[in-house]
């Protein structure tokens, strides 16, 4: 299979299993019975899996190590353009400063991957803005993301992050947003029009809203598809029914990504191989998806 990009891979969901076990033993942290995602969980259950891996990643040494190993694993799997994302504020249980955490990740990836900083839906927009300020002179940080999902208890809405994303644009950082992961396609519209998103993570419900589709096509928005993750998080009925085949037919710049190699037990090559079983996919469209991914990496001006 030709070399590929993986633009959507979470650091805390993509540890090597052997490393996770080693760190758990070293830190005396018990290993949960159900480590892997299973089909048709909900997004909330999926997000709870991160509790274990995050507990292993509360010092700079482990963050750097995992960053480095993810680059090695991706490279060995034929990924020539890699972006790794993580929420630095999730690694502060032992009192690390955000700068130290981001620098540890940068040291680990050592220029072999771009780093994307993730806020989470519901976070204080001021915090997300502080990520951007830290990233201003750290050019290895190539982008900003909003991950997780909205719920009714959250004070802040998607549009409340517009200032942080606008600052990211000003500093030449790329913008991507987890949107419409089985939720309203309106999120895509908000992400593009209010947060200046150039890429959308998941975007599964895109075709339910003609306006969202028009906006995506007009602005060459790239959709970071993660079909296995979508099946496991219960946002598509079956792997075969992932909409990427339809998207590519319509000219949407979609690419294939892993999301979480450890939890989902996938690799970039397995995800691309399996994508051929999705309705409407064929070798030609797979090549197009690969081309789209390779053309969509974030670079700092």
Catalytic residues, by residue number, are 181
Give the interface segment with Zn ion, choosing from 166-174, 213-221, 232-240, 252-260 (CB under 5 A). 252-260
Structure tokens at 280: 């409407």
Number of other residues whose CB lies within 10 A of the CB of residue 208: 13
The contact pattern for Zn ion, residues 259-288, with x = CB under 5 A and - = no contact, is x-----------------------------
- Residue 279 CB, shortest distance to Zn ion, in Å, is 23
Q: How far apart are CA 197 and CA 174, in angstroms?
A: 8
Q: Which region among 23-31, 67-75, 239-247, 254-262 touches Zn ion (by CB under 5 A)?
A: 254-262
Cα(220)–Cα(202) distance, rounded to whole angstroms? 15
**Which CB, 6 or 60, lies closer to Zn ion?**
6
**Shortest Cβ 179–Zn ion spacing (Å):** 11
Q: What is the DSSP string of 71-132?
A: HHHHHHTTEEEEEEEE-GGGG-TT---HHHHHHHHHHHHTTSSEEEEEEETTS-HHHHHHHH
Among residue numbers 220 through 249, which ones bind Zn ion (CB under 5 A)? Answer: none
Q: Name which of 103 and 259 has its Cβ closer to Zn ion.
A: 259
Closer Cβ to Zn ion, 59 or 85, answer by number: 85
CB of 8 to Zn ion, least distance (A): 6
User: What's the min distance (Å) between Cβ of 284 and Zn ion?
Assistant: 27
* For Zn ion, the closer CB: 10 or 272: 10
Piece of the chain touching Zn ion by CB under 5 A; list 36-44, 53-61, 231-239, 251-259: 251-259
18's tokens? 């052997």
What sign has the CA pseudo-torsion 16, 204, 200, 52?
Answer: negative
How far apart CA 78 and CA 69 sit, in angstroms, is 14
Nearer to Zn ion, 199 or 253 (CB): 199
Q: Which residue is nearest to Zn ion (CB)?
A: 259
Cα four-point dihedral sign 111, 17, 57, 47: positive
Query: Which residues are at the interface with Zn ion (CB under 5 A)?
Result: 259
């Amino acid at each position: 299979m030709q070399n590929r990009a993986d633009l959507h891979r979470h650091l805390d969901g993509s540890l090597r299993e052997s490393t996770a076990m080693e760190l758990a033993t070293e830190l005396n942290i018990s290993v949960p019975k159900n480590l892997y995602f299973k089909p048709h969980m909900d997004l909330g259950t999926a997000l709870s899996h991160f509790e274990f891996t995050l507990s292993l990643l509360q010092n700079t040494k482990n963050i750097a190590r995992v960053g480095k190993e993810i680059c090695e694993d991706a490279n060995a799997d034929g990924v020539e353009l890699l972006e790794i994302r993580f929420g630095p504020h999730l690694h502060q249980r032992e009192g690390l400063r955000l700068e130290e955490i981001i620098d540890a990740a940068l040291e680990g990836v050592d220029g072999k991957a771009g780093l994307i900083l993730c806020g989470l839906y519901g976070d204080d927009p001021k915090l997300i803005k502080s990520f951007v300020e830290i990233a201003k002179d750290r050019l290895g940080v190539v982008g900003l993301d909003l991950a997780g999902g909205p719920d009714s208890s959250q004070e802040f809405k998607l549009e409340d992050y517009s200032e942080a994303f606008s600052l990211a644009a000003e500093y030449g950082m790329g913008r991507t947003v987890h949107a419409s992961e089985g939720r309203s396609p309106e999120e895509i519209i908000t992400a593009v029009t209010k947060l200046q998103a150039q890429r959308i993570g998941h975007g599964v419900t895109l075709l339910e809203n003609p306006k969202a589709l028009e906006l995506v096509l007009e602005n060459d928005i790239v959709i970071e598809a993660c079909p296995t993750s979508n099946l496991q998080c219960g946002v598509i009925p079956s792997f075969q029914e992932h909409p990427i085949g339809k998207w590519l037919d319509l000219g949407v710049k979609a690419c294939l990504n892993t999301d979480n190699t450890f939890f989902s037990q996938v690799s970039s090559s397995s995800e691309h191989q399996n994508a051929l079983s999705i309705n409407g996919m064929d070798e030609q469209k797979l090549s197009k998806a690969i081309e789209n991914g390779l053309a969509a990496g974030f670079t700092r001006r």
